[in-house]
Amino acid sequence: FKSDSNSAVQSVVAVASSSDAVPMVRLLLRGDLAGDPIEAIWRGDGGTQVMATSTTGYTVGKWHFAVAVFRGSNERTIWLDGINESINTDTSESISVNQMSIGATDRTNPVEEFSGQVDEVMVFNRTLSATEITNLYNRGLQIIEQSVNLDVYLNSQRVNENSMLEATFNEEINVSTRAMSNIDRKYLSGGVITLIIGDYQKNLTEYDNYWFNTSIIGSQEILSFGNNYIYLKFQHQNQNYRTETFGFQFLIKQIEIDVETINFSDSVDVLVGETVEIQIKLIDHISNEFIENASVSYDWEFGIGTFTEIHPGTYQIYINLQENIRGNYRINLIITPEDTVYKTSQYSFILAIGVEERNNSPNYLLIIIILSILILVISILGILSLRSYVLLPRRRKIESELLSKTQKFKDLDNIQAIVLIHKQSGVPIYSKSFLTLEKHQNQLFAGFIQAITTVGEQFSKTLSDSKKEESLTQSSGVVKIQELDFKYFYCLIADKESIRLVFILKEKSSDRLKAQLAHLVNTLSLELSNELETWDGSLDEYEVLIPQMIKNYFQLYYKEPFRLSDKYFKFKMKKEKTFSRMENRALDVIQSYKVIQSTQSISKRKKIFFYLNTILDLVGSQNKDLVIEAIESLIEKKVIAPI
């Protein structure tokens, strides 16, 4: 304050009653007294007045710093310019006041008006310490609550605020944090830090070195499938520190199911006409517990069916084989758990159906009698029998096994683009293109796909009656699949409920690709149908979820750039015969391609990489399946790896 008068009583700050002139609390300038002191005055409801009066007076026309401290009912302190001038310890009466005034004492009417200037008035709901008052005077700082910074770690990994992390249902999550004041730059003890997930709250326990810690299990009672917003709230009993919150997100994923086969691995060998028994176990890979009450269905070329749970977590099916069925067939399983913490999974195996080898003892006497006559005929028949019953079946089995290994690569190479569309609105939810297009061409391509899917039903009706165009409609559950021939490319379209999934192909699709597409659409429908019924047009969540679902059925990283891994150079240094002839041939082509690429890009310092379809073309073997098998083997041995 700066006063213009030293001859009157002036009120700097006062708290009084609007209906009673008796009770009041005041910081006064006493210009009417000798020495011009200042006073901290408390007058209770009964009229008893107690006060602390300074020994030093104020000076007219000079700025001063005054503080009146009222501590409880028996202490009043008056400060002037950072010095404790006086303490009064008389007992005060209770008080009833309801209004504050600056520059006057406003009771039923204003009195003791101030002459001069008053600045930076502060009223605290607590008593300040001597250090705080001195610092306030010396630094000219306003005392406020310090902000606090939280260092947060989840499972020993530091977490940034507003970041998104991934976890799986039933996974143990360990939360650790420390709180640091931003002004003092010191870690704080004695506070309360609370973990908040929706309605769930849990206080962290304080340990040594100012660490607060707790652990939770990501159960359905605490977390839900998808995005979960999580907060840490810091509070401290010392009012010098602010209440702070630290927020981040958890993307909770479903648990993968482990399928354990009983009495077979990747294939089941049976004879024509037999009844084959197939048993599997479903296991939670986190807890190693059996998964009960799941729905396990299967399909193959000759029908569909459902497994029966014969023991907790053990499922069984009997398949009766007809006499005319021979060869190798893939059986695909779709496993839908009852508990939503588990992910709908797919599993497949090969059913190899062969002919029983008969061991008939020949009639040697009869052979001796007719041998001289029919030796030529027997020789010819023996050669034909060897070819028909041994060599050809063995050759077909080898070709079938090779085809099963290489078909995945062919299917992935066939895929040119993927578009997932909300069927009712025709709006693309997700798209992925492997075509080399300019930006404006990519937009035209997306519009073309939308046009195809919008009139898809009309196409299917037209093509079903036309002999010039090919149309394929088949069922896998309730999935409808159509394949449209556009001369220069194919469209494979799958519909179920609100989902329409379109694959753009450069060639006609295989049976395996159609089956995989049906399984993928089933999974997308199970996971997304409820959300799409009330879809508001937001795509952020689907940009994360949908690629993960597609990845479970199509290894699209095959279409990404690859590189030689460190394992290749380790194998090369050992000089062992690690690779087959075709694998060595593929590696030689890769090395040559790297040399050409590095020569062209050395000035740009680009990473050296290659694409699998480029290597397949450069190897140039007449039997592409053998080359694909070699590339698959190199990937399995981790000699080549995606970037």
Q: Kindly report, residue by residue over 56-90, the tens digit of the pLDDT.
A: 999 998 889 999 999 988 899 999 988 998 999 99
Flag whether pLDDT at 522 surpasses 70: yes
Question: Which pLDDT score, from 0 to 100, does residue 469 have?
Answer: 40
pLDDT 10s digits, 583-595: 888 888 888 777 6
- Sort 206 into a burial class: Cβ within 10 Å, 0-12 / 13-18 / 19+: middle
Instruction: Name the DSSP class of 387.
Output: I
- Which domains does the chain possess? 2-139 (2.60.120.200), 148-253 (2.60.40.10), 261-354 (2.60.40.10), 413-555 (3.30.450.50), 562-642 (no CATH)
Query: Does the structure show a pLDDT above 70 at 409?
Result: yes
CA distance 569 to 591: 12
Q: Which of 172-181, 336-345, 527-536, 623-632 has the largest mean confidence?
A: 172-181
The mean per-residue pLDDT over the stretch 455-464 comes to: 51
pLDDT of residue 473: 45
Mean pLDDT over 388-403 rounds to 53
Q: What is the rounded distance in angstroms from the CA atom of residue 335 to the CA atom of residue 297?
A: 7
Share of the chain above pLDDT 90, in %: 29
Q: How far is residue 21 from each of residues 91, 249, 437, measured CA to CA in Å?
A: 21, 58, 85
Band of pLDDT at residue 455, cut at 50, 70 and 90? low
Average pLDDT, the chain: 82
Q: Of 250, 247, 251, whose CA–CA distance to 150 is shortest?
A: 247
The pLDDT tens digits of the residues spanning 210-225 come to 999 999 998 888 988 8
At 534, list the tokens. Answer: 């009330």
- Indicate whether 346 pLDDT > 80: yes
Q: What is the mean pLDDT of residues 510-532?
A: 85
Confidence of residue 471 (pLDDT cuts 50, 70, 90): very low
The predicted structure's pLDDT at residue 307 = 95
Q: Which two tokens stand for residue 10?
A: 């002036």
Q: Return the pLDDT at 184.
A: 78
Residue 234: pLDDT over 80: yes
> Residue 336 in 3-state DSSP?
strand
Burial class (CB in 10 A: 0-12, 13-18, 19+), 333: buried
As a whole number, mean pLDDT of residues 353-376 equals: 62
pLDDT in tens, 157-167: 999 999 998 88
Total count of residues recorded for the chain: 643
pLDDT of residue 314: 95
DSSP assignment string, 403-438: HHHHHHHHHHHHEEEEEEEETTTTEEEEEEE-S---
Query: 2 and 30 in contact (C-beta within 8 Å)?
Result: no
**pLDDT digit string, tens, across residues 543-561:** 888 888 888 888 887 788 8
Q: What is the mean pLDDT of residues 500-517?
A: 88
Give the residue carrying structure tokens 């395996």.
512
- pLDDT, one tens digit per residue, over 124-147 is 888 888 988 888 888 764 445 678
Q: Of the ranges 3-12, 400-409, 431-440, which is most confident?
A: 3-12
What one-letter code names the amino acid at 253? Answer: K
pLDDT band at residue 465 under the 50/70/90 scheme: very low
Residue-level pLDDT at 388 = 54
pLDDT band at 439 (very low <50, low <70, confident <90, very high): very low
d(CA 108, CA 221): 60
